[in-house]
Amino acid sequence: MFKQFFRNKNTKWLLLILIISGLVVSDYFMHGYYNTEGYRGNVLDDKQSGEYRIACFGGSTTFGYGVTNDEAWPAQLNSELNKKGNYSVANLGANTQGIYGVSYDVLSYEYLHYDMAIISSGVTDRDPDELSNYNFRGDDVFFKLFGYKTILGFYFKEALRVLTPIDKNESKPVFTNKVANDSVRQRLSTYYTEVNQQAEEMILAGKIPYQKYIAQLDEVLNFLVQKNIRTILVCEPMTYHSIQQQKVRQLIKAKYSGKVEYVNLSELFPDVNKVSIDGMHLTKEGNKVVAEALRDSLFYH
């Protein structure tokens, strides 16, 4: 009887439809790491008259790796600004997202009609000779077609990563709060010296370090400036003196002086280890410091 049931073509189609429907429904209700439109926090309503909207782009330091949504600096910035007026802040950060992914995001989220863009960028694209081609949203065919960001694939991927970690000391997925990762801290402490040395060697060899990164960043900044969107570029902790950030400041001075603002987070954290979980990703308190600094930059520049 069961064989005849499964041999029926109509039955097979019905089962396929039920399975797909079940996955879609499950996917919809499992969103929490990010919403169905692909960003952290609640889906924003249509922009209202008199509302000032800010879009925050970048990687894990924007997303808020290791802290909850309301503890990440975009959410805390939203709380600070709404003490003064009608603001909405969208957290469009994504873990491991570099400037290549950001260049896709600034276009994809134009429908949010944001008045201001804050971009935290640098560490993901630390290689002086290569550019990270990871694109959290652009690599998702479903998102490109329908504007809907699936979540089940992320959970399956994270479950697999936890079961078979590359680093044996790593036992928790990235969506777990308050993750103290000493191995990341160690890698970050040595990275700055290593990549700067690599960049210096490129210069001595007659090559231009961070050429791809600066070219992609230039495209992003040019797009935002042409759209008359106020733009703030955030220098992540401990990166200010890197050759990469020197190149960034040279670009701003040469092409975007008076058009793009540059906020140096290194000045805020003399000892970033006191306010971070791993030497880069900030605690709730560290994110609060960033939110307050950006609040002040918004009102006093």
Going by the DSSP 8-state scheme, the letter that residue 32 receives in this structure is -
pTM equals 0.81
Mean pLDDT to the nearest integer, 175-204: 68
Element (H, E) at 233: strand 230-235
Mean pLDDT to the nearest integer, 65-71: 89
Asked if the model's pLDDT at residue 19 lies above 60, the reply is no
* Fold topology of 45-134+177-300: Rossmann fold (3.40.50)
pLDDT in tens, 250-289: 999 999 999 999 999 888 888 877 888 877 789 999 999 9
- From CA 70, how far away is CA 91, in angstroms rounded? 10
pLDDT attached to residue 4 = 52
Of residues 27 and 211, the one with the higher pLDDT is 211
Asked if the model's pLDDT at residue 16 lies above 70, the reply is no
Q: Which of 126, 152, 149 is nearest to 138 (CA)?
A: 149
pLDDT attached to residue 275 = 85
Listed in sequence order, the residues at least 6 apart from 182 whose beta carbon sits closer than 8 Å to its beta carbon are 169, 278
pLDDT attached to residue 297 = 83
pLDDT attached to residue 301 = 55
Mean pLDDT to the nearest integer, 222-251: 94
Weakest-pLDDT range from 119-133, 149-163, 174-188: 174-188
Q: Which residue has the tokens 């935290």?
A: 120
pLDDT attached to residue 27 = 43
pLDDT attached to residue 174 = 43
* Cβ count near 39 (within 10 Å): 27
Asked if the model's pLDDT at residue 197 lies above 80, the reply is yes
pLDDT attached to residue 162 = 47
State the helix-helix crossing angle for 99-108 and 211-226, rounded to 10 degrees. Answer: 20
Domain boundaries, the chain: 45-134+177-300
pLDDT attached to residue 1 = 47
pLDDT attached to residue 194 = 82
pLDDT attached to residue 11 = 56
Asked if the model's pLDDT at residue 118 lies above 80, the reply is yes
- From CA 277, how far away is CA 282, in angstroms rounded? 6
Cα–Cα distances (Å) from 282 to 8, 27, 135, 176, in that order, read: 57, 29, 23, 14
pLDDT attached to residue 190 = 64
* Cβ count near 42 (within 10 Å): 10
Most confidently modeled range among 8-17, 31-40, 285-294: 285-294
Predicted confidence band at 249 (pLDDT cuts at 50, 70, 90)?
very high
Predicted confidence band at 89 (pLDDT cuts at 50, 70, 90)?
very high
Side chain identity at 194, as an amino acid letter?
Answer: E
User: Residue 119 in 3-state DSSP?
Assistant: strand
Predicted confidence band at 5 (pLDDT cuts at 50, 70, 90)?
very low
Mean pLDDT to the nearest integer, 139-143: 85
Asked if the model's pLDDT at residue 29 lies above 80, the reply is no
pLDDT attached to residue 268 = 87
